[in-house]
Amino acid sequence: MKKLTFICFIAFLFIIVSGCTQANVHKETQAQGENKDLILAVGSEPDTGFDPTKGWGRYGSPLFQSTLLKRDNDLNIVNDLATAYNISKDGLTWTVDMRDDVVFSDGEPLTSEDVKYTFETAKNAGSVLDLNIVNKIETEDDFTVTFTLDEPRSTFIHTLVTTGIVPKHAHDDTYAENPIGSGPFQFVQWDKGQQLIVEKNENYYDQKPYFEKITFLFLGEDAAFAAAKAGDVDMAYIPAAFSNQTVAGMRLESVQTVDNRGLQFPYVKSGQKTDEGYPIGNDVTADPAIRKAINVAVNRALLVDGVLEGYGTPAYTSVDGLPWWNPETVLEDGDMEAASKILEDAGWEKGNDGIYQLDGLKAEFTLLYPASDVTRQSLAIALADMIKPLGISIQVEGKSWDEIEKMMYAEAVLFGWGSHDPLEMYNLYSSKNAGIDYYNTGFYQNEQVDAYMDEALAATDENEANTYWQKAQWDGNTGLSAQGDAPWVWLVNIDHLYLVDEQLDIGNQRIHPHGHGWPVTDNLVEWKWK
């Protein structure tokens, strides 16, 4: 056993030394203006590989694959493989016309058959893609594909944006580890647990990347920061805790996100159980006065400054700044006096210990967070400290996700979300999703909010859909925001922070979604040396 351990240690040293040697050569050629390579440490390794039918590419560029549609840097939906798309008046039939000049990296043409195969495979695999409403997919000719839905679904367009097309002729059980596609890059090598190497796809039909070769290193936050300090990477994703440390030859890039953190309240009273026997409901957080008072009392700007080192923004919904966000959801916070009035108007009175009470019920509850997440831990503790002077006691507990799954219907949980797809808002707030997965764990329900979101889904025009999403948040009378039912207290949107080589131009970064995957790579074809 000791001999084996020694051998493993020597092998580990060899990997580090060889990686540093490669990085030093990389830096020398960069200084000479000859380098067209890039070394990045911008996120963790994808668990299921690089197969879009299993969810690859939802958060950032799919690298190897193209999509029918895509978002530009202003988050507008534009054509990629598609040249046009049409939605029938009833919203059930989506017809997509495609380019006829696209080939996969192996030289084979991409046709409507590949599109049909990709979406059918993703649906049958039961992946994270929202394809349950697709009734059938038909190919009218080699470059026209038609999707027929069971019901109108405006958010189906986002599935066309995020689903990379795989080749029917080369998609097998090994595809996730050796992908072929029509995207701007082609696969070279994947050393699991260490690195991914990609190269420019010379067959790519659109703007070709500046960089010939890109190496993605799979490093933890501490290791990525160390690699940046050593000059071994051109970019490293770092947490806010490292943001005030200067690294020679690198600048700090702060990217605005909708990568939010918020507390979901149990919305109903206690007394019920899930099918698995887990308790549902909480008598304290079921009172709207408690939820509204916390929303008004919390100082979001102070959380941004104190916990995120200033790299973030106050959050008021799960969709701040996106096209379907309602700006009327912004509220004046940090107001203890107003929060106290909300509680006292609802009949709560302070006890001798300074904690509000109502009919023998004390204003106290537990807030859970994933124990492995330092930022959520800090936010949870800071929130509890902020709210305690108000007269509400929040007991903070770090748990594993396995433990949280059993408790999250009866206890408040500090979650993180954020997507470029408004369907996520539906999943979080629809009464139809109560108790399903990690979504509506509080069992929130509002018939008017449900109706608005159903109308948003049924809309055949994106602008019309956005109007209904905004009304669901707040229509002046009711809604899912803090002004309405307040089933959440949204706290902050976390800026994504990167140490970037001073000579590297990473283009115009769009608002990032939640930090799964590599969202910074969305515009990778625009990157270049200055």
pLDDT tens-place string over residues 196-241: 999 999 999 999 999 999 999 999 989 999 999 999 999 999 988 8
Helix residue ranges per DSSP H, 65-185: 112-125, 156-162
Structure confidence by residue, pLDDT tens digits, 514-528:
877 899 999 999 999
Amino acid code (one letter) for 470: Q
Tokens coding 98: 């495609």
Contacts of 12 (CB under 8 A, 6+ apart): none
**Superfamily per CATH, domain 260-494:** Dipeptide-binding Protein; Domain 3 (3.10.105.10)
Higher pLDDT, 32 or 33: 33
CA distance 388 to 395: 10
What confidence category does residue 75 fall into, taking pLDDT thresholds of 50, 70 and 90? confident
pLDDT(16) > 50: no
Q: Reduce the DSSP state of residue 407 to 3 states and report it.
A: helix
pLDDT above 70 as % of the chain = 93
Across residues 178-184, what is the average pLDDT? Answer: 97
Least confident of 69-78, 122-131, 386-395: 122-131
What CATH architecture is 36-256+495-529? 3-Layer(aba) Sandwich (3.40)
Least confident of 11-25, 54-68, 132-146: 11-25
Structure confidence by residue, pLDDT tens digits, 94-128:
999 999 999 999 999 999 999 999 999 999 887 65
Map out the domains of the chain as residue ranges.
36-256+495-529, 260-494
Across residues 36-64, what is the average pLDDT? Answer: 91
Burial 120-151 (b: 16+ CB within 10 A, else e): bbbbeeebebbbebbeebebeeebbbbbebee
Judged by phi (left if over 0) then psi (alpha if -120 to 50, else beta), residue 405 lies in: alpha
Amino acid code (one letter) for 432: K
**pTM score of the predicted model:** 0.85
DSSP code, position 495: P
- Give the pLDDT of residue 205: 96
pLDDT(20) > 50: no
How many Cβ atoms from other residues are within 10 Å of residue 230's Cβ? 12
End-to-end CA distance of the chain: 51
